[in-house]
Structure 1
Amino acid sequence: MIHKKIKEAIQNYSEELTELRRMFHSEPELSWEEENTTAFICEYLENLGISYRRTKPTGVIANIIGGKPGKTVALRGDMDALSVEQIKKNLPYASREDGKMHACGHDAHTAMLLIAAKALNKIKDELPGNVRLLFQPAEEIAEGAREMVKQGAVEGVDNVFGIHIWSQMPTHKVSCTPGPSFASADLFKVTFKGKGGHGAMPEDCIDAAIVASSFVMNVQAIVSRTIDPKNPAVLTVGKMVVGTRFNVIAENAVIEGTVRCFDPDTRDHIERQIQHYSENVAGLYGASATVEYTRGTRAVINDEYSAKLVQKVATEAFGEDILYNEKPTMGGEDFSFFLEEVPGSFALVGSGNPEKDTKWSHHHGKFNIDEDALATGAELYAQYAWTYLTE
């Protein structure tokens, strides 16, 4: 099922693929600020003769129309950077923007999808169906995919496929298993209000610091004592702001955190329990509590047919040794909003190589990718589209 012309094209475009990735890396743009990236993609597609439209405020939806009737498969690549300072400033393609960096691999995703589009466009007359190209903004703030769906990204689409470069996996390896891949990612904010006063007169006060501390120490029991251990979940308090001065008993405390899980019922349960714990801990001390719970990305659950098709494509294109069984991660991915609309799958392509110092965690200032992985990702995009349409 592997198309030889696609493989040859990706190989022939390998230098351009690396150049594109380095260009995007050196010119990072944050979520909803991807104006230059969007403009470049539009110009690139126009030169290929691929029809496209811009989404608002940034992003691109393009279509490769096949020479024969058939289904439509969508390929997604995200393109926003992070508010991270690049540590490796001696790289020839290091970020030129202070405090901004492609520290998650989205530069690679955009480059891989452009080259996949170029390869697929070369054989478009043979395609029994169409390929939708989704160059997505604002993944890092979990808003881009939902907004693209609103703007018709998957209308008329039968299947959707995405890729993420993964530094925790060896270079060239591919992982895509049916079922959970990325967790849902929610945010919560709890505000406790007590009664402030002089630090030497606690009897006249309600100490919000004590209330907040008690909540932090007790809230982990939601996961450890109220959830089935077979349903993994993480509740993390990442920020705590209490008080104003060393000798003033705090009147207010604000706690912020995140919740990660795979099961929708577990997600609902944790939200209810955070409200319950907040109110009861506050009541114990005579304080009050206000809870804001914001639902972010949903869990990425790979469709069985699509995931197995990815495995089939990968082994036929690169050999049996390509497959890797990466365990589900508690990280979040807004690709889940596409999967809510149409079936599909999300694959990880390894780029971790200790000899090239590319095993740093995503979102770290030293994050980088082994560029040998770029061709693997670009071909996987293109071969998946071809195979899905011809199955």
Structure 2
Amino acid sequence: MINQTIKNAIKENSHEMIEIRRKLHSEPELSWEEYETSQFVYDYLIKLGIKARKMEPTGVIAELEGGKKGKTVALRADMDALSVEELNTDLTYKSKELGKMHACGHDVHTAMLLAAAKALDSVKEEIPGNVRFIFQPAEEVATGAKAMVKQGAVDGVDNVFGIHIWSQGATSTVACSPGPAFASADIFNVRFKGQGGHGAMPQACIDTAVIASSFVMNIQSIVSRTVDPMQSAVVTIGKMVVGTRFNIIAENAEIEGTVRCFDPAIRDHIEKQLQVYANHTAAIYGGTAEVDYIRGTQAVINETESAHLVQQVASEAFGEDSVYKEEPTMGGEDFSFYLDEVPGSFALVGSGNAKKDTQWAHHHGKFNVDEDSMVTGAELYAQYAWSFLTK
């Protein structure tokens, strides 16, 4: 199943891959602003002789046509950075952009997929089918994948595969289990309206500080008392803005939070409960409530056969000990929108190494990766495509 030419090509080009990663890391671009990154990706692919096209406004799709007829497999990497200040000030390739950095590893994903494309190009005459490379913008705001799908990213595709580098896993280990991997990730906004006034005269007011505080406490029972204990769900309040001054009773309050779960029915239930709790809590105190519920990513559910193929490929390419089981995470990942269209799977490649200080959580200012993991990720991309098309 494992193609030795691909394995050798990845190793031979590992220095170039790391150089590309470091270049991208030093030049981060936020969601929907990946103009230089996408241009670099496009130019690199064209130089290899792989057909590529730019998407609107910043995505890139390329197609490697094999020497024989067959199916089409898609490989996806995301490209956007985050609004995070880099704290790794001693890095030679630290971010040049104040307040921006690749704090989630998308620079790594892009470099690994380019290396995989180059390796697969070296065996294209032997490939029975086509490999599509999807370089996606705006994963961090959960809108990039949906936009790429609308522009035909998976039209005619039989299977799709993605990778996320994972600082919580040991370097070069691989996790990909059938079933739930990442949760759906939604955003809600609640606005309470009361009646402001002097802090010394509460009897003439409707205090939204009290309403908002009560709401935050009340919704703790949504998961603990209205969701089956055998199901997983999280409701988190991340932002609360109330009032303007110490001696003024607040007329307005605004709350923002997120909902994470794996079951669509639980998702619907929590959305409804948030509306009920907001309206009833406000009514108790004489105020009103408005709730906006914004659905973000779907849950990432790995298709069984695809996940088993990832495990088999990883085991043969890197050894049985490289494969481990990672429990589903409540993190969100818009790769889910590809899986809504075609079967596939999403793997985690470990990059955590305390000796190299790469164990920091994703989205932290000190996040970094053990670059030894990149050879594993690039080969996993390429060998998965080869194995899917030739099995």
Post-superposition CA distance 1:52-94 (Å, at most 9, x none): 1100000100000001000000000000000000001110000
Give the corresponding residue for 2:324.
324
Per-residue deviation at 1:112?
0.1
Aligned residues: 391
User: TM-score, normalised on structure 2?
Assistant: 1.00
Post-superposition CA distance 1:214-243 (Å, at most 9, x none): 000010100000000111000000000001
Give the corresponding residue for 2:173.
173
Residue type matched to 1:284 in 2?
I
Matches within 5 A, 1:1-391: 1-391=1-391
Per-residue deviation at 1:384?
0.1
Residue type matched to 2:238 in 1?
G
Per-residue deviation at 1:25?
0.4
Classify the secondary structure of the residue corresponding to 1:62: strand
- Distance in 2 between residues matched to 1:334 and 1:231, nearest whole Å: 22
Classify the secondary structure of the residue corresponding to 1:378: helix
- Distance in 2 between residues matched to 1:213 and 1:47, nearest whole Å: 58
Residue type matched to 1:17 in 2?
M
Classify the secondary structure of the residue corresponding to 1:239: strand
Residue type matched to 2:33 in 1?
E
Residue type matched to 2:97 in 1?
E
- Distance in 1 between residues matched to 2:160 and 2:368, nearest whole Å: 27
Per-residue deviation at 1:95?
0.4
- Distance in 2 between residues matched to 1:220 and 1:262, nearest whole Å: 19
Classify the secondary structure of the residue corresponding to 1:28: coil
Post-superposition CA distance 1:300-340 (Å, at most 9, x none): 00000000000000001011101011110000000000000
Classify the secondary structure of the residue corresponding to 2:272: helix
- Distance in 1 between residues matched to 2:371 and 2:21, nearest whole Å: 9
Residue type matched to 1:39 in 2?
Q
User: TM-score, normalised on structure 1?
Assistant: 1.00
Percent identity of equivalent pairs: 69
- Distance in 2 between residues matched to 1:229 and 1:363, nearest whole Å: 30
Where in structure 1 are there 5+ consecutive unaligned residues?
none
After TM superposition, the runs of 4+ consecutive aligned structure 1 residues lying more than 4 A away are none
- Distance in 2 between residues matched to 1:223 and 1:88, nearest whole Å: 38
Post-superposition CA distance 1:230-272 (Å, at most 9, x none): 1100000000000111100001000000000000000000000
- Distance in 1 between residues matched to 2:95 and 2:225, nearest whole Å: 45
- Distance in 2 between residues matched to 1:8 and 1:361, nearest whole Å: 32
- Distance in 1 between residues matched to 2:73 and 2:229, nearest whole Å: 37
Post-superposition CA distance 1:199-225 (Å, at most 9, x none): 000000010000000000010100000
Residue type matched to 1:317 in 2?
A
- Distance in 1 between residues matched to 2:204 and 2:96, nearest whole Å: 55
- Distance in 2 between residues matched to 1:231 and 1:298, nearest whole Å: 16
- Distance in 1 between residues matched to 2:145 and 2:231, nearest whole Å: 26
- Distance in 2 between residues matched to 1:16 and 1:39, nearest whole Å: 18
Indicate the RMSD between aligned Cα atoms, in angstroms: 0.4
Residue type matched to 1:169 in 2?
G
Post-superposition CA distance 1:74-128 (Å, at most 9, x none): 0000000000000011100000000000000000000000000000011001000
Classify the secondary structure of the residue corresponding to 2:212: helix
- Distance in 1 between residues matched to 2:235 and 2:91, nearest whole Å: 37
- Distance in 1 between residues matched to 2:14 and 2:245, nearest whole Å: 59
Classify the secondary structure of the residue corresponding to 2:166: strand
Post-superposition CA distance 1:9-37 (Å, at most 9, x none): 00100111110110110000000000000
- Distance in 1 between residues matched to 2:12 and 2:177, nearest whole Å: 30
Residue type matched to 1:375 in 2?
V
- Distance in 2 between residues matched to 1:356 and 1:20, nearest whole Å: 20
Residue type matched to 1:26 in 2?
S
Post-superposition CA distance 1:118-142 (Å, at most 9, x none): 0001100100000000000000000
- Distance in 1 between residues matched to 2:20 and 2:77, nearest whole Å: 14
- Distance in 2 between residues matched to 1:220 and 1:63, nearest whole Å: 48
Residue type matched to 2:331 in 1?
G
- Distance in 2 between residues matched to 1:24 and 1:321, nearest whole Å: 31
Residue type matched to 1:112 in 2?
M
Residue type matched to 2:32 in 1?
W
Classify the secondary structure of the residue corresponding to 2:274: helix
